[in-house]
Amino acid sequence: MSDYQEHIISSTNALPLYVRDYASKQSRVVLCLGGLTRNSKDFHQVALRLSESGYRVVCPDYRGRGLSAYDPDWQNYNPRVYLDDIRQVTTALNIHRFAVIGTSLGGILGMALGVAMPSSLIGVLMNDVSPDIPAHGMKPVLDYMADTAPLDTIDHAVEKIQKAFPNFPASTPEDWHYIAQCTYKTLADGKLVYDWDSNIAKPFFTKQAQAVPDLWALYASLRQLPVALVRGALSPFVPDASLHRMQTEIPGLKSVAIENVGHAPSLSEQASLDLTDIWLKDCFSESS
Instruction: Tell me the CB-side half-sphere exposure of residue 265, using CA atoms within 13 A.
Output: 31
Topology of the domain covering 5-134+199-287: Rossmann fold (3.40.50)
E strand residue ranges, 12-153: 16-22, 29-33, 56-60, 98-103, 121-127
Cβ contacts of residue 91 below 8 Å, gap of 6+? Answer: none
183-227 residue pLDDT tens: 999 999 999 999 999 999 999 887 665 566 789 999 999 999 999
The predicted pLDDT at position 209 comes to 59
Instruction: Give the percent of the chain with pLDDT over 70.
Output: 97
How many whole angstroms separate alpha carbon 32 and alpha carbon 111?
13
Q: Over 70: is that where the pLDDT of 1 sits? A: no
Distances (CA, A) of 126 to 35, 93, 103, 106, 222: 11, 23, 6, 8, 12
Mean pLDDT of 153-169: 96
Q: Determine how β-strand 184-186 pairs with β-strand 121-127.
A: unpaired
DSSP 61: P
End-to-end CA distance of the chain: 31
On the question of pLDDT at 287 being above 90, the answer is no
Q: Which helix (H) or strand (E) segment is 234 a member of? A: none
Give the pTM.
0.96
Taking residues 12-19, what's their average pLDDT? 97
| pLDDT surpasses 60 at 275 | yes
The residues, any chain, with a CB within 8 Å of residue 11's CB and separated by 6 or more, are 17, 63, 84, 85, 88
Q: Where are the domains of the chain?
A: 5-134+199-287
